[in-house]
Chains A and B, each alone.
Chain A
């Protein structure tokens, strides 16, 4: 019935995140939907989550970023009341978890790890069961969420025949069923094909536009960059940085350039940009420069008698490097590293 209008369309992806939540940390005047307060969890003497303080504002599409094993899922489990914190607590709207778990969970939908359903029941019957808990199990709403995630056609077949991607979509449908104010998704695009990833990301953007707050865990930096407006990066259970995603994106863009004589090109551009801004990465020359400056750089190379064979954006590399730097280097607090990274860290640190 309503499946057509609700189906996600991979249309032009608008830039969510721009111009929102630019003020780091504080939500005001927006209300805080989710916060954690010195949230800590020990497993068998190992500290999985270490005094985590997060603040997610109403309307945020909030990225929760960290490498595998950083404590993301453990944090989500604590927020959702599945496991008990060793100390600290989370708060959803006015309700503390674990103290006021039942009230808090009325406002939340979501899943941790791979969403699981009763394999011998159809998607529709699974949603009916879950819907009966919150009293929002009406068939029109079930049709609507099934349409939203593109499962309407297969809604009456048993879940055990579903692919990983379909289970993932059903997880999202279940999370949205009772129209929660806060949606918590744990790596929702993992295991999806490229089209599925695109659909899910578009869906999350749409949720954000509709005023739903989304807390999105991911280990994919570019995913967070594409769809979130604010983000936190955690590593080994601790916050590394927290703030608007627009700050995560380096203002200094890089370009990768391929010419017929790379050593000469390095010399030419080094003279213009400074030798620190020009490095070699395999066969490419990587120059740190604003996008606006790129035509001038190319002209300069051509004027020097070089053949420019390719000019590519090097943003990915810059961000992935940055992420790795933040999350793997043991001496990241020492202020060492290149000036570019130091600058980014400085900007991101609250």
Chain B
């Protein structure tokens, strides 16, 4: 779609785009270097069995990197990417330049959402590839031991990691969608980014209390650890399916709401 191409040109013209990707790229590299240089690494077979894999198996680096990033830095990137989408234009005053041309507001909104999501996708792909290469170079590639104690081949392990990335990517899409909705409502990219992170953190705080456990199935953050089911043998599909359904509902509802507001919005900036 042409509209997506135009939004891509805009995002790629910004320095912050590359800065964000660069910061995320550093994480797996730092991780590998720290583990390799660390003098008191746990000998193989000690420590938590699953995660101790990382010190001697390069295949695990992309997984460890994304697990570390998905706690905060990746949601931050998603929130900023989504928050900037509409509010960034409002802040520059370019939304009016754009919308006095015959473009449908729905197409503008959806292509902005798409590009914001694609930004996160590219960021995760970079992290995965860089992590894998760095891990391979330093630790080599070995079959992995799953949470259930079974050993799986390198190609199968990489496949499980790819699925994990996809599930976490869906979770990030939810955060992008929150940010795009707030972005369409507020005209402030900072408020949108912070707002969507705050929503995520409040949800995470709620599920920590057993009093609010009845809310748990409805909050997307309660699905954060669903990816671990990929590393059971055999795979536990139920939590994964539930996570996918939850994320999908959130994404459709949030983007739908953003579309509804943006379609009738008075563009004053």
A interface residues (Cβ-Cβ under 8 A, vs B): 77, 80-84, 101-103, 105-106, 108, 110-121, 125, 129-130, 132-134, 174
Contact = CB atoms under 8 A, between A and B. Distances in A.
Contact of B96 (A112, A129, A132, A133): A112
A200 B76 CA distance: 46
11 contacts: A81-B100, A82-B100, A102-B103, A105-B100, A105-B101, A112-B100, A113-B93, A118-B10, A118-B94, A125-B9, A133-B102
Contacts of A106: 102
B19 interface: no
A157 to B, nearest CB: 14
Nearest to A73: B268
B97 A82 contact: no
A262 B99 CA distance: 59
Contact of B9 (A84, A102, A129, A174): A129
Interface in B1-26: 2, 5-6, 9-10, 13-15
Contacts of A114: 93
B8 to A, nearest CB: 11
A115 B93 CA distance: 8
A125 to B, nearest CB: 7
Given A82-B99, A134-B102, 10 more contacts: A82-B100, A105-B100, A111-B97, A112-B96, A114-B93, A118-B94, A119-B92, A120-B13, A120-B15, A130-B98
B266 to A, nearest CB: 4
A113 to B, nearest CB: 8
Nearest to B267: A82
Contacts of A125: 9, 13
Contacts of B101: 105, 130, 133-134
B139 to A, nearest CB: 40
A83 B100 contact: no
A343 to B, nearest CB: 40
Contacts of A80: 100
Contacts of A105: 100-102
A77 B93 contact: no
B96 A116 contact: yes
Contacts of B98: 130
A108 B100 contact: yes
A133 B6 CA distance: 9
Contact of B13 (A115, A118, A134, A174): A118
B38 interface: no
Contacts of B238: none
B104 interface: yes
Contact of A103 (B102, B103, B268): B102
A105 B267 CA distance: 16
A81 B99 contact: yes
A249 to B, nearest CB: 33
Contacts of B268: 77, 82-83
B92 A82 contact: no
Interface string B114-146: 000000000000000000000000000000000
Given A105-B102, A132-B2, A117 B266 contact: no
B100 A110 contact: yes
A84 B5 CA distance: 28
A108 B99 CA distance: 12
Contacts of B6: 129, 132-133
Contact of A111 (B5, B96, B266): B96
B102 to A, nearest CB: 4
Nearest to B101: A133
Nearest to A105: B102
